[in-house]
Amino acid sequence: MMTFKYIFSTGLCGLLLLNTWSCRKSESLNVDMSRYVVDQPQQTEIDNWITANLTNPYNIQLVYRFERNLTDVVKDISPIQLERVKPTAEAIINIFLKTYEKVAGPAFIKTYTPKQFVLYGSPSYNSNGTITLGTADGGRRVVLYELNNLDFAQPAQVSRRMRTIHHEFTHILNQIVAIPPEFQQISKGDYNADWTGSTNTEQVARSLGFVSRYARSVYTEDFAEVTAHLLIEGQLWYDSYAKAAGPDGQAKLKKKEALVVEYFKQHLNINFRELQYEVLKVLRDTYNDNTKTFLYALQNSLISNPLMVNLADGAHYAEFGQSEQFKQVWEAVKTGLGTNGRKPAYFQIVFLSPTVMQVQHSYTNAAGSSFSAWYDFNITVAPNGDITFKRFDSGATDTPYGNGRNSQVLAGYTPLINYLNGHTFKGDWIPASAGPSNFLKFGGFSVKDEPDNYFYGKF
Concatenate the DSSP letters of all residues of 111-127 into one string: HHS-SEEEEBSS-EE-T
Above 70 in pLDDT, residue 419?
yes
Query: What pLDDT, in 10s, does the model give residues 348-367?
Result: 999 999 999 999 999 999 99
Concatenate the DSSP letters of all residues of 222-239 into one string: HHHHHHHHHHHT-HHHHH
SS3 315: helix
Cα-to-chain-centroid distance, residue 169: 16
Torsion sign over Cα 37, 43, 45, 46: positive
Average pLDDT, the chain: 89
Number of residues that make up the chain: 459
Give the closest residue to 206 by CA, choosing from 245, 246, 232.
Answer: 245
Per-residue pLDDT at 8: 28
Per-residue pLDDT at 43: 86
- Note the helical H segments in 311-439: 315-320, 324-338, 399-405, 407-421
Above 60 in pLDDT, residue 304?
yes
Query: What pLDDT, in 10s, does the model give residues 70-88?
Result: 887 778 888 999 999 999 9
The residue type at 369: S
Query: What pLDDT, in 10s, does the model give residues 150-208?
Result: 999 999 999 999 999 999 999 999 999 999 999 999 999 999 998 988 999 999 999 99
Per-residue pLDDT at 127: 79
SS3 201: coil
Per-residue pLDDT at 211: 98
d(CA 295, CA 308): 18
Per-residue pLDDT at 17: 30
d(CA 172, CA 166): 10
| For range 16-45, the mean pLDDT | 51
Above 50 in pLDDT, residue 26?
no
SS3 163: helix
- Greater confidence, 52 or 14? 52
Q: How confident is the model at residue 126 (pLDDT cuts 50, 70, 90)?
A: confident
d(CA 444, CA 430): 6
Nearby residues of 65 by Cβ (< 8 Å), 6 or more positions away: 38, 41, 79
Above 70 in pLDDT, residue 18?
no
d(CA 158, CA 162): 6
Torsion sign over Cα 334, 340, 346, 352: negative
| For range 222-239, the mean pLDDT | 96
For the chain, what is the total number of helices (H) and then of strands (E)?
Answer: 18, 14
Cα-to-chain-centroid distance, residue 193: 27
* Domains with residue ranges and CATH for the chain: 45-298 (3.40.390.70), 305-458 (no CATH)
Whether residue 338 contacts residue 364, with contact meaning beta carbons closer than 8 Å, is answered with no
d(CA 64, CA 145): 11
Q: What are phi and psi of 270, to 5 degrees?
A: -120, 130
